[in-house]
Amino acid sequence: MPIAQLAGSGSDDSAKSKTFVFNDEGHTLGNALRCIISSYPEVQFCGYTVPHPAENKMHFRIQMYNGRAVDALRKGLEDLEEVCTITLDRFQAELENFTGS
């Protein structure tokens, strides 16, 4: 998943506010990641846009009260991976229980 950053405002707080560009991603990742990162108390704003349906990319914006936006993104991706792992494990266990395997 290639990720780039859009140019910032150049202010002293530029590490607190970043827009990341995810290539080959859209609403599926954007909405799930937004839900997780928005729950962090140090996050002031978190949102995403898909600029145009013909462009296969997503812009993901994070603004922080404290800390760095890139750290919140990293934590969000790790937490989302953990949620997906737990969901897959529980689904697999229930499927095995249902099919008797």
Report how far residue 80's alpha carbon sits from residue 64's, in angstroms, rounded to the nearest whole number. 19
pTM for the model: 0.83
pLDDT of residue 43: 98
pLDDT classification of 1: cutoffs 50, 70, 90: low
Mean pLDDT for 70-92 is 97
Using only C-alpha atoms, the chain has a radius of gyration, in whole angstroms, of 16
CATH number of the domain enclosing 45: 3.30.1360.10
Residue 77's nearest CA partner among 85, 67, 88 is: 85
pLDDT classification of 100: cutoffs 50, 70, 90: confident
Length of the chain: 101
pLDDT of residue 11: 54
| pLDDT tens string 20-72 | 999 999 999 999 999 999 999 999 999 999 998 888 899 999 999 999 999 99
The full DSSP string for 60-86 is EEEEESSS-HHHHHHHHHHHHHHHHHH
Q: Which residue range forms the structural domain that includes residue 86?
A: 3-99
Q: Which DSSP letter does residue 56 get?
A: -
pLDDT of residue 9: 47
Q: Tell me how many domains the chain contains.
A: 1
pLDDT of residue 58: 95
